Amino acid sequence: MKKVSWPAKSPFIPGILFGLFAVATLVMPTSFIVMAPGPANDVTALYDGKRIVSISGQKPYPSDTHLYMTTVSAYGNPDTGASGGTVASALFDSSARVVPVRALYASEETNDAVSSRDHEMMKSSQETAAAVAMERAGLDVKMTLEITGSTNKNAQVNKGDIISAVQTPDMDKPQNIASFSQLSSALEKVKPGTGIKVTVIRDGKETVVPVTTVPRQPEFDGSVRPGSVMGVFITVTKLELPVQVSYLIDGIGGPSAGNIFSLALYDQLTPGSLGGKNSIAGTGAISWDGSIQPIGGINQKLAGANEAGVKNFLAPAANCSETRGHVPTGMNVWAVRTIDDSIQAAEAIANGDTSKLVPCSAVAAPKMRMGE
């Protein structure tokens, strides 16, 4: 029988296989999303000769203030997580955050669906920011406030009712309501449990219905804003702005630039430089009543603003507890709850006296609710 000699094993083969495995691990997608600092964009700057945020129908007032919207660069999406190499690199980057895909997105969500939703949220944010800025600048803004539901058993409203007027006990006659801000203002001095009269348009006819107001929802720190609310769900439609607004924003989604958009528009609609010759960055979603809501990626946005050289940052008060230990050296992070807070902060920065502003470091952490 002929003896067969097998070739000796090459010492390089295990190393090659390990190398191939390592490369595959680095390039293959994972089940994680990496959130890293994105660019800070000056919305007062010109792009191809046009303002990134601009108005038409009224001449804008000149300003020396630079306002920066901040962003997060996300690696990975609901369909495909970030590569192993990107995740590994992020683990050694204090400004990045690694999050499981399913912690951000439900299993049934697709990248196309999320992109579409983010686009719609950006569009809604731009409309809300414009309306709020114009009202704060003293311009007349009109919108339709449609009731889409109720959690108040003492509000005799129907789905589809259009709010047209409100009369509180201290009013001699009904006050016409043309915007969400007007409705909020009308109720800010009304104690919860107060009976008011609400004029609604129902089936094409005006009807007066009784409503007993309810308390506002507590803030993140347990505090409750003065006044009360109707306890109904309201959808804003048929927005009419006295000045047209254009945004040269592409490839960025979500609602978090509302605060800065509103400031930029307010600055163009009012005389002088809102923040003097300073650069101010910020973030925060904006509601129709001008309140500033929390957002995601606050620490990545702080890092992005720092890379742009900005030293004053306006952050939603509800995000402040997340910033501890992440504020770049030399940066002032101011807490804001409303657009009025943001305007006052910019004015204080312009005047060089920020002693009355609230730093994020002084804001209490969110109160835990039962079951959390």
Q: Coil, strand or helix: which one is 23?
A: helix
DSSP-derived secondary structure for 217-273: PPPTTS---SSEE--EEEEEEEEE-SSEEEE---S--SSTTHHHHHHHHHHHHSSS-
- Beta-strand pair 214-215/228-229: antiparallel
Name the active-site residue from 54, 179, 301, 342: 301
Amino acid at position 27, single letter: V
- Beta-strand pair 312-316/279-282: parallel
Name the active-site residue from 54, 63, 184, 256: 256
* C-alpha–C-alpha distance, residues 334 and 331, integer Å: 10
Residue 256 annotated as catalytic = yes
DSSP-derived secondary structure for 274-318: TTTT-EEEE--EE-TTSBEEP-S-HHHHHHHHHHTT--EEEEEGG
Tokens matching residue 255:
């609602």
242: left (phi over 0), alpha (psi -120 to 50) or beta: alpha
Helix 339-351 and helix 111-136, axial crossing angle in degrees, nearest 10 = 70
Residue 59 annotated as catalytic = no
Residue 68 · residue 257 · CB < 8 Å: no
Q: Beta-carbon neighbour count of residue 329 at 10 Å?
A: 5
Residue 18 · residue 67 · CB < 8 Å: no
Residue 305 · residue 258 · CB < 8 Å: no
Distances (CA, A) of 36 to 29, 240, 304, 328, 333: 17, 38, 9, 15, 19
Element (H, E) at 135: helix 111-136
* C-alpha–C-alpha distance, residues 165 and 167, integer Å: 7
**Residues annotated as catalytic (active site), given as ranges:** 256, 301
